[in-house]
Structure 1
Amino acid sequence: MTIHFSNITPDNWRTFKALKVKEEQKKFVASNVTILARAFAFRDYNSRVYAIYNGDLPIGMLMQHDLDDNSLVCVLDQFMIAEQYQGKGYGKSAMQLWFSMIKNEEKYDSIILCYIEGDEVARSLYLGMGFHYTGEVDEDEIVMEYNLKDKA
């Protein structure tokens, strides 16, 4: 397994647009076109979308942005691994790589994310990565946080 990130470009965006999650997961994650649109909408908050590869094989996408203008908080806005690559450790490996990148930036104090109740795969992954519940709910999404300062 050789997980790495790359940019979404004019040459590869259609490939990533075509990646899909399992039918029963569609209620938990935005479509890849929506992820790209959200990244554009959050561009003033340093949004970034990463194409996730295993070697040369496109397997998923990840979107992050700052919480606000002067943020020390990174928002993991979207994360998806295509259905045919799930259950093989790619999601965990991609999250570990992303964590390493975020920590190396030394810009943020914490990472926040939300997941929808019922998405047990995401909940398990995030808890396993060290996220904790904040007690907040944003609309129908449960908020979790990872404190980078405590992990330094």
Structure 2
Amino acid sequence: MNLFVKEVGADNWKAIALLSVTEDQQPFIESNAYSIAQSIFEPEWRSVGLYDGETLVGYAMYGREKSTKQIWLDRFMIDQSYQGQGYATRFLKVLLKQITETYKDDQIFLSIFAENKVAQRLYEKFGFRLNGEIDTTSKVVGLVMELNIQNRT
């Protein structure tokens, strides 16, 4: 496996915009097209495709939130065709490494919907913990999870 992250650009944005999750996951994630547009008009966000060799398997968006200066993994998805193959776990490791190398920060934040227990368990495996804060920036209120890089197990 040759896993890598590639910035969204003219050569891959359409394919990334067309990635999809299962119907029951749709309430938990913004559309990739919306997220790509957001990263164009809000340049603090970086949109990236997640590749296994030549195969596009997912999408993520991360960056430094403008008002709080916190580092966020704001979007993360694996296309429904590639779910159940361990890609979420393997790519989360790759993304966290890239984010910490890019921003040299001790904390990374993300938010999940309370009902999305699968995502919560995945993030907890990497050391993320619910911090008691509520994210009201998206269409549905989310629970904030935080990863302290220095205390990672």
What residue number does 2:59 align with?
61
Q: Which runs of 4+ in 1 moved over 4 A?
A: none
Q: CA deviation at 1:67?
A: 2.2
Q: CA deviation at 1:69?
A: 6.1
Q: Are 1:47 and 1:64, in contact at CA under 8 Å, matched by a contact in 2?
A: yes
What residue number does 2:48 align with?
50
The amino acid of 2:31's aligned partner reads: S
Q: Deviations over 1:48-107 (max 9, x none)?
A: 111101111001111011023683x31111111000111111111111011112233362
Q: Are 2:127 and 2:152, in contact at CA under 8 Å, matched by a contact in 1?
A: no
The amino acid of 1:51's aligned partner reads: G
Identity of aligned residues (%): 30
Per the alignment, in what secondary structure is the counterpart of residue 130 of structure 1?
coil
- For 2:83 and 2:17, locate their aligned partners in 1 and report how far apart those are by CA, in whole Å: 17
- For 1:37 and 1:105, locate their aligned partners in 2 and report how far apart those are by CA, in whole Å: 22
What is the CA RMSD across the aligned residues, in angstroms?
A: 1.8
What residue number does 1:28 align with?
28
Q: Are 2:4 and 2:50, in contact at CA under 8 Å, matched by a contact in 1?
A: yes
- For 2:18 and 2:66, locate their aligned partners in 1 and report how far apart those are by CA, in whole Å: 31
Question: Structure 2 regions of 5+ residues with no counterpart?
Answer: none
Q: Are 1:131 and 1:145, in contact at CA under 8 Å, matched by a contact in 2?
A: yes
- For 2:116 and 2:67, locate their aligned partners in 1 and report how far apart those are by CA, in whole Å: 30
Aligned residue pairs, count:
149
What residue number does 1:133 align with?
130
What residue number does 1:144 align with?
145
What is the TM-score with the length of structure 2 in the denominator? 0.89
Alpha carbons of 1:11 and 1:106: their partners in 2 closer, same or farther (altered >3 Å)?
closer
- For 1:127 and 1:151, locate their aligned partners in 2 and report how far apart those are by CA, in whole Å: 11
The amino acid of 2:73's aligned partner reads: L
